[in-house]
Structure 1
Amino acid sequence: MRTIVILFSVLFILSSTSCATYVEARPANVTIIKSTPKRYKIVKVKGKRYYFWNGNHYRKTNKGYVIVRV
């Protein structure tokens, strides 16, 4: 009886784990802009600083500016 309980518990544990061991992450398509144009505006949204020009909000990074949704 004891071996049957152990066997069923092992089978339950093995069947409840996921088979996926690796998920490949795709790189996001991000356009980096090196410098701001002459006429940009600094906008603060919820305490965070964004740059606005050409109808888009941008955020400053180490490599340049990237488009973000606000």
Structure 2
Amino acid sequence: MRTFIILISAILLFNLSSCAARVTKRPAKVTVIKTAPQNHKIVVIKGKHYYFWNGRHYRKTRRGFVFVRV
């Protein structure tokens, strides 16, 4: 009986632990800009390249440029 209780408690202990390492939220709506304007500038912040125009920073993706907060 004692072995049975230890076995059941061990199974419950392993089943109640979470396997999720990180939960992230994705923005609901992302505006993709296909081409950068002629007056854009490339800036490097903490080793990452950003494109800057109109007072905003953008990252280059496969689909175009996406606004990011630096």
**5+ long unaligned stretches in structure 1:** none
Q: Gapped runs of 5+ residues in structure 2?
A: 19-23
RMSD: 2.5
Q: How high is the TM-score relative to the length of structure 1?
A: 0.67
User: 3-state SS of the aligned residue for 2:39?
Assistant: coil
Identity among equivalent pairs (%): 43
2:47 matched to 1:47? Answer: yes
Structure 2 length as normaliser, TM-score? 0.67
Flag the structure with larger Rg. Answer: 1
CA distance in 2, matches of 1:48, 1:27: 21
Instruction: Give the count of matched residue pairs.
Output: 63
The equivalent position to 1:8 in structure 2, one of 5, 11, 18, is: 5
1:18 alignment partner in structure 2: 16
